């Protein structure tokens, strides 16, 4: 009964709203404003309130408020305190004229805004800006003084490239938008801002190119973001789960990357980018299966090299899903499919193994996945040694102890290597999940089960959408003109148009553009 009482209270009581009183107007009494700030930031030792005297005779009380560690200290001193206390004097101390003089003549900051509501002052302070209250004036000034320790622009570890830009996004929103602006230097690149999260108040930017993006997709992105009502947004993964079309599907339908060139390329194709403050991972929608099978250096190498690499990736993805299931099905039900010499070799290696092929495969796959996860979570210097040495030692020990056969070790090793070929980590994880599903079907129904499982996967991929775009587009539905950047990449001088979806303006370059051919 006590548990049930607590459960009922938890469902019926509303959570305490810390911002319930923040709709009040800023008042003309500076003492009242400072009191409200102190109440809002109770027990916050990093709040700085500097009360000063301003005006031509230092007769007007003012307060400069910011949060330590989120403010650029030199900018605060030189751009605000020094300007209003030492260098400049307003001509008139009376109310509105003093306020306008500070805003338009004295303060040199490029970002200065008038604040009317108390919640606006709180948001500015929490964002790293400095708020100035002046006695006798029922408004405040917000000066842009954001400045905190941030990671430098470096090459992302999660997306290595052979050729192409080495820079990656950081956790600072404005750095990320500037990296995009450097790639796409046009005023048609629009960046809109919204805030999500009741407590984190995380800034989210929506980036797109006006004239290329489909307005229906853009409006749908804004609609889905506006429906997010949660207490916190700490990473773009939060947003991904809220807006994806198929939340119960193992296949990812929202693309993310740390590389500005990838995101810029997707925007130029008509996609919408979602940039989240505090994370280097930027989302783009819509996303098809082929987005997850491409890497940025596919477009920097010559087209026939890219074609071979993409064929290798698709083949590797299929091997990572099907190979263990095929091995189990053939060795369990269809031994007559194997050449006699190979069958005798496999049968001899399995003579002393006490487990059926399925248990043997599950044991090896679980060990391999555990080693891979340990290699990711441990420090880099230790993780690489653990993953390599662990695989060699455990594999050899398992074979010596007759727990698994050498053939199974080879199958699992080929499967693991093939899964690393997939450039997208999300899609690689999907392949690892489907692998176990195919293995179980293969152990129950043989090759028939493997085929049924593979067909179910294809039907599922055909059924899902990403913001209205079919996941396997342009293969299904078949659009021949858009196949030039799927299985293969055609040469740049051949790709005169963008894909029909999601772009509205599909014209990419002149139809007369041809490769250079020497005369004679």
* Residue 144: count of CB within 10 angstroms of its CB: 18
Place of tokens 């193992």: 250
Residue 373's pLDDT is 80
Please give the angle made by the CA atoms of 320, 321 and 324, to the nearest 5 degrees.
80
Residue 497's pLDDT is 85
pLDDT tens track for 420-438: 899 999 999 999 999 999 9
Residue 147's pLDDT is 83
**Confidence band (pLDDT; 50, 70, 90) for 338?**
confident
**Has residue 243 got a pLDDT over 90?**
yes
- Mean pLDDT check: name the lowest of 52-56, 132-136, 474-478: 52-56
Backbone angles phi, psi at 266, to 5 degrees: -65, -40
Percentage with pLDDT > 70 across the chain: 90
pLDDT tens track for 197-226: 989 999 999 999 999 999 999 999 999 999
Half-sphere exposure of 87 toward its Cβ, with a 13 Å CA cutoff?
13
What are 517's strand-pairing partners? none
Residue 242's pLDDT is 95
Structure tokens at 404: 């698994």
Q: Is 323 helix (H, G, I), strand (E, B) or coil?
A: helix
Residue in 298, 71, 73, 264 with CA at minimum distance from that of residue 176: 264
Domain layout of the chain by residue ranges: 30-143, 173-287, 303-469
| Residue 247 or residue 150, greater confidence | 247
Residue 24's pLDDT is 85
Residue 17's pLDDT is 41
For range 102-108, the mean pLDDT: 85
Residue 519's pLDDT is 57
For residues 397 and 416, give the distance between their C-alpha atoms in angstroms, rounded to a whole number. 19
> Where are the strands (E) in 18-99, listed by range?
47-54, 60-67
**Confidence band (pLDDT; 50, 70, 90) for 18?**
very low
Residue 321's pLDDT is 95
For range 497-503, the mean pLDDT: 82
**Confidence band (pLDDT; 50, 70, 90) for 275?**
very high
pLDDT tens track for 122-147: 989 998 999 999 998 899 999 988 88
**Has residue 13 got a pLDDT over 50?**
no
| Residue 62 or residue 160, greater confidence | 62
Percentage with pLDDT > 90 across the chain: 49
| Residue 104 or residue 328, greater confidence | 328
pLDDT tens track for 389-415: 666 677 777 777 878 888 888 898 899
Residue 19's pLDDT is 47
**Has residue 192 got a pLDDT over 90?**
yes
Q: Is 115 helix (H, G, I), strand (E, B) or coil?
A: strand
**Has residue 95 got a pLDDT over 70?**
no
**Confidence band (pLDDT; 50, 70, 90) for 87?**
low
**Confidence band (pLDDT; 50, 70, 90) for 347?**
confident
| Residue 375 or residue 235, greater confidence | 235
**Has residue 267 got a pLDDT over 80?**
yes
Secondary structure in 3-state letters for 324-377: HHHHHHHHHHCHHHCCHHHHHHHHHHCCCCCCCHHHHHHHHHHHHHHHHHHHHH
Place of tokens 């797109």: 208
pLDDT tens track for 65-86: 999 988 888 888 888 888 888 7
pLDDT tens track for 280-313: 999 999 999 999 999 988 999 999 899 999 999 9
**Has residue 102 got a pLDDT over 90?**
no
For range 156-178, the mean pLDDT: 90
Q: What is the mean pLDDT of the chain?
A: 86
Residue 371's pLDDT is 80
**Confidence band (pLDDT; 50, 70, 90) for 7?**
very low
**Confidence band (pLDDT; 50, 70, 90) for 2?**
very low
* Alpha-carbon distances of 237 from 108, 180, 276, rounded to whole Å: 39, 20, 10
Residue 335's pLDDT is 87
* Residue 82: count of CB within 10 angstroms of its CB: 13
| Residue 214 or residue 7, greater confidence | 214
């Amino acid at each position: 009964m006590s548990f049930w009482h607590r459960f009922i209270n938890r469902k019926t009581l509303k959570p305490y709203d810390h911002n319930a009183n923040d709709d009040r107007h800023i008042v003309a009494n500076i003492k009242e404003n400072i009191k409200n700030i102190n109440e809002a930031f109770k027990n916050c030792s990093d709040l700085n309130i500097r009360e000063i005297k301003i005006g031509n005779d230092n007769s007007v009380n003012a307060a400069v408020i910011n949060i330590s560690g989120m403010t650029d200290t030199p900018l605060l001193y030189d751009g605000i305190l020094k300007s209003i206390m030492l260098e400049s004097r307003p001509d008139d101390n009376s109310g509105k004229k003093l306020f306008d003089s500070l805003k338009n003549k004295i303060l040199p900051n490029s970002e200065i805004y008038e604040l009317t509501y108390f919640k606006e002052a709180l948001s500015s302070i929490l964002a790293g800006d400095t708020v100035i209250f002046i006695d006798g004036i029922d408004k405040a000034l917000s000066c842009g003084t954001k400045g905190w320790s941030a990671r430098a622009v470096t090459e992302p570890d999660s997306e290595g490239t052979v050729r192409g830009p080495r820079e990656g996004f950081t956790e600072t929103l404005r750095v990320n938008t500037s990296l995009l602006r450097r790639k796409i230097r046009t005023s048609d690149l629009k960046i809109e801002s919204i805030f999500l999260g009741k407590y984190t108040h995380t800034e989210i930017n929506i980036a797109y190119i006006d004239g290329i993006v489909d307005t229906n997709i853009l409006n749908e992105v804004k609609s889905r973001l506006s429906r997010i009502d949660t207490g916190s947004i700490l990473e773009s993964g939060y947003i991904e789960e809220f807006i994806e079309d198929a939340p119960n599907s193992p296949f990812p339908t929202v693309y993310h990357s740390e590389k500005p060139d990838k995101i810029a390329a997707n925007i130029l194709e008509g996609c919408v980018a979602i940039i989240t403050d505090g994370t280097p991972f930027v989302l783009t929608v819509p996303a098809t299966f082929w987005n997850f099978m491409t890497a940025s250096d596919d477009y920097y190498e010559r087209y026939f090299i890219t074609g071979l690499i993409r064929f290798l990736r698709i083949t590797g993805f299929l091997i990572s899903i099907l190979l263990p299931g095929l091995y189990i099905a053939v060795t369990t039900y269809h031994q007559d499919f194997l050449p006699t010499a190979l069958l005798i070799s496999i049968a001899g290696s399995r003579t002393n193994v006490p487990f059926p092929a399925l248990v043997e495969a599950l044991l090896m796959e679980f060990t391999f996945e555990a080693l891979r996860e340990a290699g990711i979570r441990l420090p880099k210097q230790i993780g690489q040694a653990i993953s390599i040495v662990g695989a060699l030692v455990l594999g050899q020990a398992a074979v010596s102890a007759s727990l698994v056969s050498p053939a199974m070790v080879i199958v699992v090793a080929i499967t693991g290597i093939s899964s690393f070929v997939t450039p997208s980590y999300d899609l690689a994880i999907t392949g690892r999940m489907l692998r176990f599903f195919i293995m179980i079907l293969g152990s129950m129904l043989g090759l028939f089960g493997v085929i049924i499982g593979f067909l179910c996967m294809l039907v599922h991929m055909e059924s899902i959408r990403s913001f209205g775009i079919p996941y396997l587009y342009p293969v299904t539905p078949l659009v021949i003109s858009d196949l030039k950047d799927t299985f293969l990449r055609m040469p740049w001088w051949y790709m005169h148009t963008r894909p029909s979806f999601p772009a509205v303006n599909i014209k990419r370059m002149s139809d007369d553009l041809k490769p250079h051919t020497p005369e004679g």
